[in-house]
Copies of this chain bind each other. A is one copy, B any other.
């Protein structure tokens, strides 16, 4: 048996079926309303319905010279951080009648750049890059985006202030500092921090901010541990710390929730109880942060809102230099109980 394939009905088919010209059909199906006869409208609509017509958006795009799509590039969609961001972008796009095409850069700056180049081929209405969390030269990316913008595109960037495009970001250093202060307020005095590779702005800013907060509270950090920017990295670092002797470290701050959750696991695996034997704090407030127990103290980052805001920002044709700073907030949960946990020696 042959695989019968009658191609999608075109505007021509609809027009013929309705007994009108393509122009008329086009007008009722898409174009600027009112200029078409009541009866013809009905004929066309009926014909379209009967044939199951769906406009060829690619053809529409070439004809119009513009698309109704937004291109989104993230580092890793399975990461709650990015998937929440993506959800916000999708919501914003939906509201604007746009549809989003998305690609993952897999935490490689080079791949990210290639992806933007490819995506650019779709002449999307908007390009949003949510690719923080990776290191490497951004010049190529900037060039690519600049060309896109020069050709009339709208770009927005999430979490990497300093790039010459409208940006939505948070004050990593300030937020970390606030957290440190809040924790000091709770009575904590002896801290260790787990951070990612030095090249990562996000990691560095959060670490530096946290240390600054401690200093302001008259506290000196006990230990700073370098590791991978992942949950496993957090696990490894915490394990190392514990193996080397916790001394009287009371609280472990990891620069991301993922790392903090990894650290909590390490604590548990070492036979200690997080929140009791040692407090743990993270940064991001991703979903799982409230699922773990004890619930993770962290800095709330409005990920979903940031995604949505990035859409709005790009759409509004914001000034390339505009940085929309989103509010953050320390969220104290039971992983950092108010009464200083018993220190283990």
Contact = CB atoms under 8 A, between A and B. Distances in A.
A127 interface: no
Given A6-B151, A100-B103, A150-B5, A83 B90 contact: no
A262 to B, nearest CB: 9
Interface in A56-107: 56-62, 65, 67, 69, 76-78, 80, 83-84, 86-87, 90, 94, 99-104
A20 interface: no
Interface stretch (A116-124, A165-173, A176-184, A213-221): A116-124
B69 A101 contact: yes
A97 to B, nearest CB: 10
Contacts of A292: 288, 291-293
Given A77-B86, A292-B291, A58 B61 contact: yes
Interface string A34-64: 0000000000000000001011111111100
A43 to B, nearest CB: 21
A77 B87 contact: yes
A7 interface: yes
A265 B291 contact: yes
Interface of A: 4-8, 52, 54-62, 65, 67, 69, 76-78, 80, 83-84, 86-87, 90, 94, 99-104, 117-123, 147, 150-152, 231, 261, 264-265, 268, 287-288, 291-293, 304
